[in-house]
Amino acid sequence: MSNLQPPPIKIILTACGCPGASTLIKRLKGNGEREVTIIGTDINNEAIGRFLCDGFYRVPSGTSNEFIPAMIDIVEKENPALIFPESSNEVLALAKARKKFEEMETKVIVSSPEAIQASSNKYLMYETVKQSGKVDLPEYSSASNLDDFVAASERLGYPESPIVFKPHFGKGSRGVRIIDPKADRKSQLMDEKPTSKYMSFDEFIEIFKDVEDTDFPDFLLMEYLEGKEKTADTLALDGRALLTTIKTVEKARWGVIAEGALVRDDFLVEQTEHVLNSIPLSYCVNVQFIAGRLVEINPRVSTFIYQQNLIAPYLAIKLALGELSEEDVIAYQERIDYGRRMIRYMDQVFHKEWREVL
């Protein structure tokens, strides 16, 4: 690792309006080593990153056929060193088009399409990881029609035990619900904010009773896990975990961590390594656990608890550019400041005609 100051770089940061974007932008710019010019993209014209980045482009959804052509146009105009995606909806399209971007001399910080597909499909993810026999998993099943759903629920112990269902493909907490016959519906209505994840079995049946099998979503059903939620934020390369931090998820809002802390958890670090051995992801990877069992994998950057001497997304950039070796990244493990906490809070930007006015 050279001690010479690296040259300035320009990057494209996608989904610059996502919950963690503002902090990521500030930390990349405050890396203490080099100037980083950031061009933000987002599907929302008023994405917060528009007011924090050095340039901004509105783009189609990452699942649209127009997304990659739009990104190619931006790369041609901006000539960035790399593209850093933040959205699960964009990583697969960018991975499939990576060769085209590399021909334009722009790196893309993504895993292989195969690894992204294996991790993004929640049922396929469990089926793939299960083969190693080394990762602790909840009891789970899959359903592609209403009869399957009812039968799978019974296999998982419902109604004696609560269950959770989620679509095979989903973003954030969309489509995720807990079915618990013991849940106090009156208390949920009167005492909780209208963001409850609970649903009754009868409500589910009512919604899907007239849905044809061809239109019924593929659902993953799993036992309801009670215990502490923790997530691993890993910097990896082709399935090799180079740097892993574990954080608690003590409070969440809209499916996003609101309070948490860096903790030492050798078991979850090892579990994360086993997960990556099964699904060889690269660069920033987020692995979620509840009660020590695997819940979900996000093949992209997630909320990170930053340190001035440990900015994992910036290390991912340097790794992609060949400025750090795998061993260089591994050495950063010794810098983790266990006990460091984070809280997420709301803020505001005031603008007129796309310029900040206060």
Note the pLDDT of residue 229: 97
User: If you average pLDDT over residues 249-271, what whole number do you get?
Assistant: 94
Per-residue pLDDT band for 237 (boundaries 50, 70, 90) equals very high
Note the pLDDT of residue 300: 96
Cα 166 from chain centroid? 16
Among 56-65, 166-175, 200-209, name the most confident range: 56-65
**pLDDT of residue 191 exceeding 90:** no
Q: Can you give the pTM of this predicted structure?
A: 0.94
pLDDT, tens only, 311-342: 999 999 999 999 999 999 999 999 999 999 99
Per-residue pLDDT band for 186 (boundaries 50, 70, 90) equals confident
Minimum mean pLDDT range among 146-150, 253-257, 286-290, 343-347: 253-257
User: If you average pLDDT over residues 88-98, what whole number do you get?
Assistant: 97
Q: How long is the chain?
A: 358
> Parallel, antiparallel, or unpaired for β 36-42 and 9-13?
parallel
Note the pLDDT of residue 227: 95
User: If you average pLDDT over residues 100-107, what whole number do you get?
Assistant: 98
Nearest to 272 by CA among 256, 294, 303: 294
Quote the CA–CA distance of 143 and 123 in Å, as a whole number. Answer: 10
Quote the CA–CA distance of 275 and 280 in Å, as a whole number. Answer: 8
Per-residue pLDDT band for 208 (boundaries 50, 70, 90) equals very high
Instruction: Identify whether 181 is preceded by a cis peptide bond (ω within 30 of 0).
Output: no
Note the pLDDT of residue 172: 65
User: If you average pLDDT over residues 172-192, what whole number do you get?
Assistant: 80
**pLDDT of residue 3 exceeding 70:** no
Note the pLDDT of residue 255: 78
Domains of the chain: 9-110 (3.40.50.20), 116-123+226-343 (3.30.470.20), 139-223 (3.30.1490.20)
Q: Which residues contact 160 (CB under 8 A, 6 or more apart)?
A: none
| Average pLDDT of the residues of the chain | 95
Among 74-83, 187-196, 199-208, name the most confident range: 74-83
Quote the CA–CA distance of 86 and 231 in Å, as a whole number. Answer: 17
Note the pLDDT of residue 184: 75
Note the pLDDT of residue 312: 98
Per-residue pLDDT band for 57 (boundaries 50, 70, 90) equals very high
Q: Are 40 and 111 in contact (CB under 8 A)?
A: no
User: If you average pLDDT over residues 64-93, what whole number do you get?
Assistant: 98
Identify the H or E element spanning 142: strand 140-143
Note the pLDDT of residue 178: 94
> Parallel, antiparallel, or unpaired for β 283-290 and 293-298?
antiparallel
Per-residue pLDDT band for 194 (boundaries 50, 70, 90) equals low
> Parallel, antiparallel, or unpaired for β 107-108 and 341-343?
unpaired
